[in-house]
Amino acid sequence: MVRAQEPTETAILESLTTGNFYASTGVTLSEMETAKDSVSLKIDTRFPNSLQSYTTTFVGKGGKTLAKKTGLEAKYHFKGDENYVRARVDSSWGARAWTQPVFLK
């Protein structure tokens, strides 16, 4: 899934080059925001299903689990020693999404 300003080749390639995309086998994110002190996301609920649940796992260097959150929104506050943080969202129905890593400076 690529977040581009418009559906043109130039805009899509720019988003791919800058890491503004994520991989998915069915989970769709409506938002992903990075701030100085955190990363947050929202799962798309255009087609809500009360039987399906979502767990977001924030992962750091070496695959270390930093935090887990159940629900349609998740946020992780940086501690400063993570090196990078990426989110993996798992659906109770087996679909998954993986974000690009956010590197701490």
Tens of pLDDT along 31-70? 999 888 999 999 998 776 668 899 999 999 999 999 999 9
CA-to-CA dists, residue 60 to 5, 8, 13, 69, angstroms = 29, 33, 27, 15
- Mean pLDDT, range 15-19, rounded to an integer: 87
Residue, of 78 and 104, whose pLDDT is higher: 78
85, pLDDT greater than 90: yes
User: Coil, strand or helix: which one is 14?
Assistant: helix
What is the CATH code for 23-103? 2.60.40.10
pLDDT reported for residue 48: 67
| pTM for this prediction | 0.88
